[in-house]
Amino acid sequence: MFKKIIPSMALIAIFLIACSGETPAVEPQTTAAESEPSALNQADLDAVKQYALDNAQEMKASTAALLTSAQAYHDLIATHEFDYEAAWAAEAETLIQQTTDLKNHWVTASQYYELDEGIVAGVPSLAFYDVWIDAGPSAAEDPAEAYEWTLELPDGTTLESPGNFFHSILEPTIWGTKPAFTGIQADLNGDGELVIGEALPNANVLLGAAEGLDQATAEMVTAIEAWEPTTSDAFTALVVMIPTMNEYFEQWKLSAYVSGEAAEETAFIGASRLFDITSILNGLDVTYQNVSVLVEGADTDLDAQINDGFNDLRSYVDDLYTQEQNGTTFTAEQADLFGTEAQAKATALSGQVAQAAALLEVEIAE
């Protein structure tokens, strides 16, 4: 349990004028920006919403599966009176499978969210869910910016302003990177060594957070269903979320994917932050493709530049992720360089999108 403290356009008919000998009046010509766009030049905002909703619903299925697995794990640990050493000694094989399931469900839920993050975090009416589910800091990390809420655990204890569900609570719990959220370290792969990610989660934190994430996701799905997207929403999400590469690359640099066993970052271990970036950019690209027709109608060259910018940025990150998947381990210095280069590309692209919004007189929300 947890407690929140929150604050078709009609087609223009074309008529043939009968030959009457009279010269028909000629309507004054208007520019693309001045004229009402035809149905063929409409942004497909419904497609953007459907994309967001499809991913959110898939995420909800995964959070429900995560909750089921968390309940089963909690119940097993409870039969051993929350003695993790005793549980491990008696039921190691079952616990290995359960922790594997927990990790798989977490990764799947997180990946579906990342496909939506550019939209959810960038649209003002949805942005709260990004803070609560994926991005908000804990009070310990940033007292001024932390979202105030209470997570009540099954044993009756509470966590005050603990940050976001995915990376502040569940990921460190499932991968054992925060001692307070960990039962014991355990040699899950049986190689005789204990490495990062090998642990039995604290059953109470796990179940309480899994319940909370599932409910928060259900609320997010409802919010997306009720959302009536506007061109301002679309362009705001693009302008706000494209130029965030520095933050993501810094998180990647500090994670185990770059820093290895010496990593101080307790999150971004379940999936590489590079994969998250590719997913976020995918959602933003989908958003632009569905409003691109407006920009193309006003400035064909600018539209082409924006499309080229998306292709360039996405290819850049995709290539790094592919190298990582193929076994390359990058250094912290390389991560800094890549982050600087990606940010430069993103800043230029965001500027072009902002230029397009100004040309179309579309408001970018603060």
- Give pLDDT tens digits for 28-58: 333 333 434 444 468 999 999 999 999 999 9
pLDDT per residue as tens digits for the range 264-279: 899 999 999 999 999 9
Q: Which of 208, 228, 248 is at the close of a domain?
A: 228
Average model confidence (pLDDT) across the chain: 91
pLDDT per residue as tens digits for the range 59-84: 999 999 999 999 999 999 999 999 99
Long-range contacts of 324-330 (CB under 8 A, 24+ apart): 324/257, 324/272, 324/274, 329/257, 329/258, 329/260, 330/258
Clarify whether residues 215 and 285 are in a common domain. no
In a domain, 113, yes or no: yes
Q: Is the pLDDT confidence value at 307 over 70?
A: yes
Domain enclosing residue 253, as ranges: 230-260+270-366
Strand 199-201 and strand 182-185: pairing? antiparallel
In total, how many domains does the chain have?
A: 2
Arithmetic mean of pLDDT, 305-331: 98
Clarify whether residues 194 and 236 are in a common domain. no
In a domain, 317, yes or no: yes
pTM for this prediction: 0.88
CA distance 9 to 196: 56
Strand partners, 200: 184
DSSP assigned state of 132? I
DSSP assigned state of 43? -
